[in-house]
Structure 1
Amino acid sequence: MLISQRDDHRHNFFRTRDLSNVLATVIDQGQLMSNFGPSLLRFYAAESGLKFLLNRTEKVPFEYEVADQNLPLDSVASFPGRIEGYSHDLPRMLSRLKVSAATVNVPAGPFKVVKGYKNGQQFALKGAHEAWRYGLEVDAGDQVQLERFLTDVIAYVEAEI
């Protein structure tokens, strides 16, 4: 498993955020399918930023920090509340950080794939990165909701960092 430290997450937040903005300016925004690249990068920027904040403000440890305490490997794997346990669950991270709905409105979902393998597939917000990673087209209304959410999360992280 690769290890990334807290500051790696902070730097990655800025890198992926900036790269998503650059990519979005070069893509023809008239094509919904072209949004999956910038959307995926925004998702990962939001995830990196939230994990940085969880570690810094809530003192949720990274697995390597627990391992550095020379605990047995089985206790590291089952360590409750470590950053890696949040995976891609942005709403759960926001909840732990006590971010108000006025700051970041979390769309309820489920969201729908309209073009790609098995049209009509539904997914939760934490699975949005998979839809974009695999190049599936998300319903236009859902795409707007997800983009608005990511924009709000990125703005929140920028203000907190």
Structure 2
Amino acid sequence: MLKVLQDEHRKNFWNLLASISAARGAKARGEIPSVGHANLLHFYAAEVGLKYLLSKTAKIPFRHEIIGGVEHVEFFGHRIADMIARLKVPAARVPAPPKATFRCVPGFKDGTGGQRFSLSQAHEAWRYGLTIDIADEADITGYLAQVSAYLEKELPK
């Protein structure tokens, strides 16, 4: 695993937000066919912003800063809701995630009407170009927008 410093997480959060805005503008101008990759960037922006806060405010070290089995930032992986819970972010600032599972359509069928996935797996669906149920994608992107709005107030530029 690459070593990424605390401040690199902060800078990357702001760079990813700028890229998201640029991608959405390109979609609006008809220059690109979808904003799936912008949603992927939004997921990663939320993740790196939260990892910055875990390190900065919760004083949780990065794996390369420790020896042994102490809790570290990378332990959280892509689990945005777990990071928010660990940071004790009030529900008034970031509400609970919309639901436990979401659905890709049409794609792979598992006998339940489409492949199911959790919020922490949403980045995989976007990364591989899977089609997420329209309502589910709106729920996920709405939640990521709330997380990002919180982070924009918490992270220095």
Q: Once structures 1 and 2 are overlaid, which stretch shifts more, 103-112 or 121-130?
A: 103-112
Q: Secondary structure at the match of 1:115?
A: coil
Supply the distance in 2 between the matched residues of 1:22 and 1:109 (Cα, whole angstroms).
Answer: 30
Over the matched positions of the two proteins, sequence identity in percent amounts to 42
Greater helix proportion? 1
Supply the distance in 2 between the matched residues of 1:116 and 1:41 (Cα, whole angstroms).
Answer: 22
2:154 aligns with 160
Q: Secondary structure at the match of 2:35?
A: helix
Indicate if the aligned counterparts of 2:103 and 2:133 stay in contact, CA closer than 8 A: yes
Corresponding letter in the other structure for 2:101? P
User: In the TM superposition, what are the counterparts of 1:109-124 in structure 2 within 5 Å?
Assistant: 109-118=100-109, 120-124=114-118
Deviation sequence 1:26-68 (CA, Å, 0-9, x none): 11599xx8131110000000000000000000000001111xx
Gaps of 5+ in 2: none
Distance 1:28 1:114, change over 3 A: farther
**Equivalences, count:** 149
Normalization by structure 2: what TM-score?
0.89
Corresponding letter in the other structure for 1:133? R
Cα RMSD (Å): 1.8
Q: Once structures 1 and 2 are overlaid, which stretch shifts more, 114-123 or 13-22?
A: 114-123
User: In the TM superposition, what are the counterparts of 1:22-101 in structure 2 within 5 Å?
Assistant: 22-28=22-28, 34-66=34-66, 71=67, 75=68, 79-101=69-91
Structure 1 runs of 4+ off > 2 angstroms? 115-119
1:150 aligns with 144
Shift of 1:92: 0.2
1:16 aligns with 16
Answering whether residue 130 of structure 2 is matched by residue 140 of structure 1, we say: no
Indicate if the aligned counterparts of 1:131 and 1:138 stay in contact, CA closer than 8 A: yes
Answering whether residue 121 of structure 2 is matched by residue 127 of structure 1, we say: yes
Supply the distance in 1 between the matched residues of 2:114 and 2:91 (Cα, whole angstroms).
Answer: 28
Gaps of 5+ in 1: none
Normalization by structure 1: what TM-score?
0.87
Indicate if the aligned counterparts of 2:23 and 2:35 stay in contact, CA closer than 8 A: no
